[in-house]
């Protein structure tokens, strides 16, 4: 510290002022050789003025300062090659590296700082689970307070998946261990810790400094330039001080040399004088000395008159002349001053430099993910009581028809599996409530679980639904962003009463936590699908009899809307009122477009009408035009486990608002059509499969070639899955050969 801050304190290179009592002098500023304000940072509040300057690495700060001193025209990008970001003494990770340039350019901004955490696998004393280990915490964060904050979130269930927290820090360093429950994704838990605790903080930069006693917001260039000006000033003042000192000494040495040639005469004059002043007067007169030289000779010991001392004086004279020449050249050449500045700064760097502690990354606010890992397939399940989880499809073995299947979800008493959907772990999941509200979250925000776990409450992930007491009735998975969506891509929404709304995908994907459809009293949202306006739409429904109906229409039969509006009739049921004309329905939907799209369909006391639709599927126009014996096929499954494949081209296009045609008859009165799916093709060279799910959480994986084919639309179908008592078919997912090859199953 002395070398870097006080080395030149006695060389008159800074101004001094009296202390508070006037008894002593103190420097107004230390003659630092390194940019201490930039290195150590500062924080303070005054009247209407505040400053908050981040600390930086000593070596990087010196390198940046030297680069600017040697090249005053250096750009910010060039300086940031040496000084890329702050370096905090507690380490951590700066996650918004991309924002550093703006902060250094303006002197203001926020540094996103994370603690350093790794995921370890613990395997000892019968324990086999993952753990998050925190080894560094953000700057100005208290470890005990952080641990307490994490525990509070775990107890409040705002952070799921933590089984234990303990502080194992010792003399070797910090180690806070957070054990993860089995079936939970440690990466997702860590991401929640970053989002909800002080494991990630924002350090707000406000580089306010006093420049000529005036508060000024300083950019990186400003701070380094001011320090360079200060260093140039101190070096010049120090050099001037040393020059004057050398010149004064040279003047004395010249006097010594002058009297050494007449030592006897000098002694004679001194002995003949009655006192010191008269002796000095005689010496000045006889040898042409100045007052200072005469006084110095009178104070000189006699041993200085020896021949050896004469040699020393001559050597000193030569050295003094060299010093004077050096300092005069330095003061007359700014480039030499800069060279001294750089040399002294580099010497300080070599003496005190330490490696950078804070690393730099660019991390988005989305889920932490290794870009080198390919997306993984998952099955997303949701129970009627709102428990959601992700499951790996590898958990299910391939089985045959009429087998029971394997339990895919642990359900508490009275709970049933409501939805099951295939997705990638990199997808965004769009959740739709029964009242038509949309909220989306990353797939990885949902913990990956084992088969014997119940999952996590979906309300803990969907705050908008929780506040309004709404239930999830539909899910969509997508890897697209708003910018990826084309104009002909739409989202088709089907209600329990057979109404349909077609909305522009670009408009809906840009929404968050808003209503996307306006429902009539008693109606609820049933199903949602991505589509193109040229696709063919098959809607299934059931009247109060022993048969189900299917309607073949086209997506283009419906007007595409860009905001929440009332749906129009898709499939018509017996007993429905006279159908309004298409023009009248379109006009009503258009009027709804002008209403407030965020107005909830919330009539809490309305009676929910029984659902009369089983679902809908889409087939592209190109695929239907190329239909053959191999497919495409419509797969019908009843709630009692019967199913069949029917060629999709068996049904002609009728258009929307029609009753459709019979697609399946039921032998038992308690049976009904449960789900509808599309099987693209079958045959000996086809490896596609289906994953069938039941209300009891049982799943069965079957080859599409095992499914019975029926040319007669009125046939009943065959048994597909063996069900336990009070268990019913709930959903089906078609897994293509490509998906299965990625899973290696």
**How many angstroms separate the CA atoms of 336 and 275, rounded?**
50
pLDDT single digits (tens) 674-701: 989 999 888 888 778 888 888 887 888 8
User: Which pLDDT score, from 0 to 100, does residue 524 have?
Assistant: 93
Average pLDDT in the chain? 84
User: Which pLDDT score, from 0 to 100, does residue 483 have?
Assistant: 80
Q: Where are the beta strands (DSSP E) in 509-626?
A: 514-515, 525-532, 536-542, 547-554, 560-561, 568-569, 613-619
pLDDT single digits (tens) 644-659: 999 999 999 999 999 8
**Residue 408, domain member (yes or no):** yes
pLDDT above 70: residue 109:
yes
Question: Model pTM?
Answer: 0.54
Whether residue 486 is found in the same domain as residue 579? yes
Element holding 60 (H helix, E strand): helix 58-70
Total residues found in the chain within this entry: 745
Q: Are 382 and 419 in contact (CB under 8 A)?
A: yes
Alpha helices in 261-365 (DSSP H): 263-272, 276-287, 291-298, 307-331, 334-352
Whether residue 327 is found in the same domain as residue 445? no
**Residue 259, domain member (yes or no):** yes
pLDDT above 70: residue 156:
yes
pLDDT above 50: residue 581:
no
Whether residue 385 is found in the same domain as residue 494? yes
Whether residue 323 is found in the same domain as residue 394? no
User: Which pLDDT score, from 0 to 100, does residue 188 have?
Assistant: 78
pLDDT above 90: residue 536:
yes
Whether residue 133 is found in the same domain as residue 256? no
User: Which pLDDT score, from 0 to 100, does residue 549 have?
Assistant: 92
pLDDT single digits (tens) 117-143: 998 888 766 667 889 999 999 999 999
**Residue 458, domain member (yes or no):** yes
Of 269, 300, 333, the domain-final residue: 333
Whether residue 248 is found in the same domain as residue 174? no
**316 preceded by a cis bond (ω within 30 of 0):** no
User: Which pLDDT score, from 0 to 100, does residue 365 have?
Assistant: 40
Residue 303: give its domain's CATH number.
Answer: 1.10.268.10
The neighbour count for residue 459, using CB atoms within 10 Å, is 18
pLDDT above 70: residue 597:
no
**How many angstroms separate the CA atoms of 651 and 660, rounded?**
9
pLDDT above 60: residue 38:
yes
Whether residue 389 is found in the same domain as residue 304? no
Whether residue 162 is found in the same domain as residue 246? no
User: Which pLDDT score, from 0 to 100, does residue 1 have?
Assistant: 57
Whether residue 384 is found in the same domain as residue 280? no
User: Which pLDDT score, from 0 to 100, does residue 407 have?
Assistant: 55
**How many angstroms separate the CA atoms of 134 and 119, rounded?**
9
Q: What is the mean pLDDT of residues 332-340?
A: 91
pLDDT above 70: residue 403:
no
**Per-residue confidence at 513, pLDDT binned at 50, 70, 90?**
low
What percent of the chain clears pLDDT 70, i.e. is strictly above it? 86
pLDDT single digits (tens) 76-105: 999 999 999 999 999 999 988 889 999 999
User: Which pLDDT score, from 0 to 100, does residue 395 have?
Assistant: 56
Which of 248-262, 397-411, 676-690, 724-738 comes out lowest in average pLDDT? 397-411
Q: Are 58 and 39 in contact (CB under 8 A)?
A: yes
Which of 6-20, 436-450, 601-615 comes out lowest in average pLDDT? 601-615
156 contacts: CB under 8 Å, gap ≥ 6: none
Whether residue 303 is found in the same domain as residue 384? no
Whether residue 325 is found in the same domain as residue 394? no
Structure tokens at 392: 């790996």
User: Which pLDDT score, from 0 to 100, does residue 160 have?
Assistant: 85
pLDDT above 90: residue 199:
yes
Which of 60-74, 113-127, 407-421 comes out lowest in average pLDDT? 407-421
3-state secondary structure 226-237: HHHHHHHHHHHH
Structure tokens at 167: 């502080």
Whether residue 320 is found in the same domain as residue 399? no
Characterize 696-724 residue by residue with b for buried, 16 or more Cβ atoms within 10 angstroms of its Cβ, and e for exposed.
bbbbbbbbbeebeebeebeebbeebbebe
**Residue 664, domain member (yes or no):** yes
**Residue 367, domain member (yes or no):** no
Q: What is the DSSP letter of 6?
A: I
pLDDT single digits (tens) 248-287: 989 988 888 877 777 778 788 888 888 888 888 888 887 7
Alpha helices in 367-504 (DSSP H): 463-468
Element holding 730 (H helix, E strand): strand 729-735
**Residue 322, domain member (yes or no):** yes
621 contacts: CB under 8 Å, gap ≥ 6: 534, 535, 536
Which segment, 208-212, 254-258, 450-454, 663-667, is predicted with the most confidence on average?
208-212
Q: What is the mean pLDDT of residues 384-390?
A: 81
CA angle 181, 186, 188 (to 5 degrees): 115
User: Which pLDDT score, from 0 to 100, does residue 497 have?
Assistant: 92
**Per-residue confidence at 56, pLDDT binned at 50, 70, 90?**
very high
Total tally of structural domains belonging to the chain: 3
Residue 430: give its domain's CATH number.
Answer: 2.120.10.90
Q: What is the mean pLDDT of residues 23-32?
A: 86
Element holding 663 (H helix, E strand): strand 661-665
pLDDT above 60: residue 426:
yes
**Residue 165, domain member (yes or no):** yes
Q: Are 741 and 678 in contact (CB under 8 A)?
A: no
pLDDT above 80: residue 35:
yes
User: Which pLDDT score, from 0 to 100, does residue 409 have?
Assistant: 55
**Structural domain boundaries, residue 254:** 239-333
Residue 155: give its domain's CATH number.
Answer: 3.30.1360.40
**Per-residue confidence at 364, pLDDT binned at 50, 70, 90?**
very low
What percent of the chain clears pLDDT 90, i.e. is strictly above it? 39
**Residue 371, domain member (yes or no):** no
């Amino acid at each position: 510290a002395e070398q870097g801050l006080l080395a030149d304190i006695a060389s008159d290179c800074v101004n001094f002022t009296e202390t508070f009592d006037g008894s002593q002098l103190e420097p107004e500023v230390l003659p630092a050789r390194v940019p201490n304000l930039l290195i150590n940072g500062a924080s303070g509040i005054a009247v209407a003025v505040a400053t908050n300057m981040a600390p930086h690495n000593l070596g990087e700060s010196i390198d940046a300062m030297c680069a600017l001193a040697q090249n005053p025209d250096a750009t910010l990008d060039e300086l940031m090659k040496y000084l890329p970001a702050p370096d905090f003494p507690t380490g951590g990770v700066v996650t918004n590296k991309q924002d550093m340039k703006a902060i250094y350019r303006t002197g203001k901004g926020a540094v996103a700082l994370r603690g350093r955490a790794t995921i370890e696998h613990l395997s000892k004393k019968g324990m086999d689970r993952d753990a998050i280990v925190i080894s560094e915490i953000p700057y100005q964060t208290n470890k005990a307070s952080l641990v307490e904050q994490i525990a509070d979130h775990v107890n409040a269930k705002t952070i799921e998946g933590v089984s234990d927290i303990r502080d194992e820090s010792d003399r070797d360093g910090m180690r806070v261990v957070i054990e993860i429950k089995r079936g939970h994704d440690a990466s997702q838990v860590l991401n929640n810790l970053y989002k909800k605790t002080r494991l990630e903080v924002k350090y707000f930069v406000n580089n306010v400094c006093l420049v000529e006693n005036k508060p000024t917001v300083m950019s990186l260039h400003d701070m380094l330039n001011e320090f360079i000006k200060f260093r140039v000033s101190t070096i010049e003042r120090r050099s001037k001080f040393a020059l004057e000192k050398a010149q004064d000494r040279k003047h004395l040495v010249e006097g010594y040399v002058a009297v050494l040639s007449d030592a006897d005469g000098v002694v004679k004059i001194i002995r003949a004088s009655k006192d010191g002043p008269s002796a000095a007067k005689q010496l000045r007169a006889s040898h042409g000395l100045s007052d200072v030289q005469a006084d110095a000779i009178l104070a000189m010991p006699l041993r200085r008159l020896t021949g050896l001392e004469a040699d020393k004086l001559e050597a000193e004279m030569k050295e003094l002349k060299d010093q004077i020449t050096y300092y005069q050249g330095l003061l007359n050449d700014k480039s030499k001053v800069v060279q001294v500045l750089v040399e002294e700064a580099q010497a300080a760097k070599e003496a005190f430099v330490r490696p950078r502690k804070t690393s730099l990354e660019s991390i988005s606010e989305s889920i932490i993910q290794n870009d080198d890992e390919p997306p993984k397939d998952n099955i997303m399940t949701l129970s009627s009581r709102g428990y959601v989880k992700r499951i790996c499809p590898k958990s299910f073995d391939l089985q045959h028809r009429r087998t029971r299947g394997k339990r895919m979800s642990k359900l508490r008493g009275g709970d049933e599996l409501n939805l099951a959907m295939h997705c990638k772990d990199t997808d965004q999941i769009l959740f739709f409530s029964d009242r038509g509200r949309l909220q989306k979250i990353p797939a990885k925000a949902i913990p990956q679980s084992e088969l014997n776990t119940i999952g996590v409450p979906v309300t803990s992930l969907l705050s908008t639904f929780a506040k309004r007491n709404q239930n999830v009735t539909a899910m969509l998975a997508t890897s697209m962003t708003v910018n990826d969506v084309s104009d002909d891509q739409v989202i088709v929404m089907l209600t329990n009463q057979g109404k349909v709304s077609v909305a522009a995908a670009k408009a809906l994907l840009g929404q968050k936590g808003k209503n996307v459809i306006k429902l009539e009293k008693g109606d609820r949202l049933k199903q949602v699908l991505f589509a193109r306006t040229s696709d063919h739409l098959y809607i299934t429904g059931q009247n109060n009899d022993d048969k189900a109906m299917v309607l073949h229409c086209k997506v283009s039969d419906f007007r595409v809307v860009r905001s929440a509006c009332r749906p129009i009739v898709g499939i018509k049921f017996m007993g429905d009122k006279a159908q309004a004309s298409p023009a009248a329905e379109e006009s009503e939907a258009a009027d709804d477009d002008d209403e407030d799209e965020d107005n909830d369909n919330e009539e809490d006391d309305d009676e929910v009408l029984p659902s009369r639709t089983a679902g809908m599927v889409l087939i592209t126009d190109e695929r239907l035009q190329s239909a053959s014996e191999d497919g495409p096929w419509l797969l019908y499954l009843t709630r009692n486990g019967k199913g069949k494949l029917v060629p999709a081209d068996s049904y002609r296009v009728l258009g929307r608002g029609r009753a459709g045609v019979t697609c399946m008859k039921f032998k038992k009165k308690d049976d009904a059509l449960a789900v509808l799916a599309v099987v693209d093709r079958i045959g000996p060279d086809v490896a596609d499969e289906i994953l069938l799910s039941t209300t009891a959480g049982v799943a069965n994986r079957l080859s599409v070639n095992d499914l019975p084919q029926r040319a007669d639309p009125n046939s009943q179908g065959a048994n597909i899955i063996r069900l336990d008592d009070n268990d019913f078919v709930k959903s089906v997912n078609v897994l293509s050969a490509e998906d299965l090859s990625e899973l290696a199953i």
